[in-house]
Amino acid sequence: QKEVEQNSGPLSVPEGAIASLNCTYSDRVSQSFFWYRQYSGKSPELIMSIYSNGDKEDGRFTAQLNKASQYVSLLIRDSQPSDSATYLCAGYNTNAGKSTFGDGTTLTVKP
Amino acid sequence: NAGVTQTPKFQVLKTGQSMTLQCAQDMNHNSMYWYRQDPGMGLRLIYYSASEGTTDKGEVPNGYNVSRLNKREFSLRLESAAPSQTSVYFCASSDTFSNEKLFFGSGTQLSVL
């Protein structure tokens, strides 16, 4: 099993809808989780981090972590065409001292 | 504030040639990383440096070497390039070893013919 797995996508939603991106992880990744957004041809940029069970909201973005189910998600409310990008889920293992990334989910928001 | 600066942005090599990718950060970060990204795939860690003077292998270290020259600079060397090393390379840094929010450079598109 890969350490971090994401829905393969691609995901397409209409403008104004909620986009839901999902990620599962193995026992080897257990401390902190991050969502990075990567526009085509650009480098990843951090948009959300979550460290404890529950929800964390930042504007239109909500990250959800369920450690019992080893599940992390990112919800984007009121999706905009500018949200069209690849979203990378990453899990950080403090013992190993490094992050492991999923393969990414490409989101397209259609006007 | 430049953040993380990588050079070059593009490079074409012939099989067997060598080259060094340069990376520098001006955020006083302790940890630095080299990732590669292949089409449709996430980021795979090549090497990382938790602090000045230390380096460790990541998931895909074969064919690469690194040097943490000082706190600011972390270089990646391909001694004998192979077509399988065609990829986009990203350098990243983070502020402490136990709080890995990564800040990325703009990337290097490398093609090995």
What residues 44-103 of chain B have any CB closer than 8 A to a CB of chain A? 44-45, 48, 50, 56, 58-59, 90, 97-103
Identify residue A3 by its one-letter amino acid code: E
Least confident of A59-68, A93-102, B63-72, B100-109: A93-102
Q: Which of A49, A48, A38, A35 minimizes the C-alpha distance to B106? A: A38
CB-based contact B56 A36, cutoff 8 Å: no
The whole-angstrom distance between A74's CA and the closest CA on chain B is 17
Sorting pLDDT into bands at 50, 70 and 90, what band is A30?
low
Burial code (b: 16+ CB inside 10 Å, e: under 16) for A47-65 equals bbbbeeeeeeeeeebbbbb
* CA nearest to B106 within chain A: A43
Answer with the residue of higher pLDDT: B107 or B41: B107
Strand-pairing partners, residue B64, are B78
Q: Could you tell me what percent of chain B has a pLDDT over 70?
A: 95
Q: Which of A4, A96, A101 minimizes the C-alpha distance to B92? A: A101
Instruction: Kindly report whether the peptide bond that precedes residue A10 is cis, defined as omega within 30 degrees of 0.
Output: yes
Instruction: Express each pLDDT in A44-91 by its tens digit.
Output: 999 999 988 999 999 999 999 998 899 999 999 999 999 999 999 998
H helix or E strand, kind and range, residue B80: none
What mean pLDDT do residues A32-39 have? Answer: 94
